[in-house]
Amino acid sequence: MDDEYIVNQDAKTVEFLFLGNSLTYCGVPDEEPDKTKRGLTSTKIENDYVHKLVSMYANKYEVNVKFSCVNISDFERGFRDSVFSKDKLKNIQVKNPDVVVFQIGENVSYEDISVYGEVFFTRYCELIEGFKNSKRVVCIPFWPVKEKINIITDVAFSTGSRICDLSHLGSGIDPENFASSYKKYRKPGVGAHPGDIGMDRIAKNILCVLSE
């Protein structure tokens, strides 16, 4: 997905790249009438965290924002067997992003992170180091698992990236963060994803990390 937020035609343009999973960009459940690809369980495209974030950023800093989103959930599930495939990025418009947001980890299984944690650390660092000239934000997964929190924190530290902890949002301390708080979904697990409120809070947390 490639899109653009225009605030002022004479303002500078800041380019964002989002590398994530279903929270960032995918098809949507049958229960959602708007079938536009976006962050899963946001009720409409402007309510997912990506669109919330770029809109907030553009208005706060009075800039134009151009952005691309890529779903890299296959990397999460297959990191044991292969490195990140740069072919995933060959057709996107944003080639040299000013900011890269890495939102992954939710699809890394408990077994994989427990047994192959060092491999995940290495492969994730390699992915991030491919964007040395960008401001990089590494997100702690929405659903908290201590092994993932610890390893991804080390990834951010080792690569000199900024870190945004989303785990408090998915911990269950506030049910409003989940889509299940306002809608029932037939497919198991879908309602545990962030709904509109959760998406808004993810965007605000990342924006705080990006603040100069």
Sign of CA dihedral 55, 61, 62, 67: negative
Q: From CA 121, how far away is CA 7, in angstroms rounded?
A: 38
Nearest to 126 by CA among 83, 161, 187: 83
Residue 98 CA to residue 136 CA, distance in Å, equals 9
- Cα gap 52→110, rounded to integer Å: 30
Looking at residue 1, its pLDDT comes to 64
Q: What CA–CA distance (Å, rounded) separates 181 from 179?
A: 5
Token pair for residue 165?
């902890």
* Confidence (pLDDT) at 96: 95
pLDDT at site 32: 86
Q: What's the token pair of residue 5? A: 């937020």
User: Model confidence over 84-117: pLDDT tens digits?
Assistant: 998 999 999 999 999 999 999 999 999 999 999 9
pLDDT reading at 8 higher than 80: no
- Residue 31 has a pLDDT of 87
**Dmax over Cα atoms in the chain, in whole Å?**
52
Section 69-89 average pLDDT: 95
pLDDT for residue 10: 79
Considering only CA atoms, which of 209, 121, 117, 210 is closest in space to residue 159? 121
Q: What is the pLDDT of residue 166?
A: 98
Identity of the residue numbered 127 = L
- Mean per-residue pLDDT for 115-134? 98
| Highest mean pLDDT out of 56-60, 123-127, 187-191 | 123-127
The runs of H, that is alpha helices, within 40-145 are: 49-61, 73-78, 110-115, 117-129
Q: Binning pLDDT at 50, 70 and 90, where does residue 34 land?
A: confident
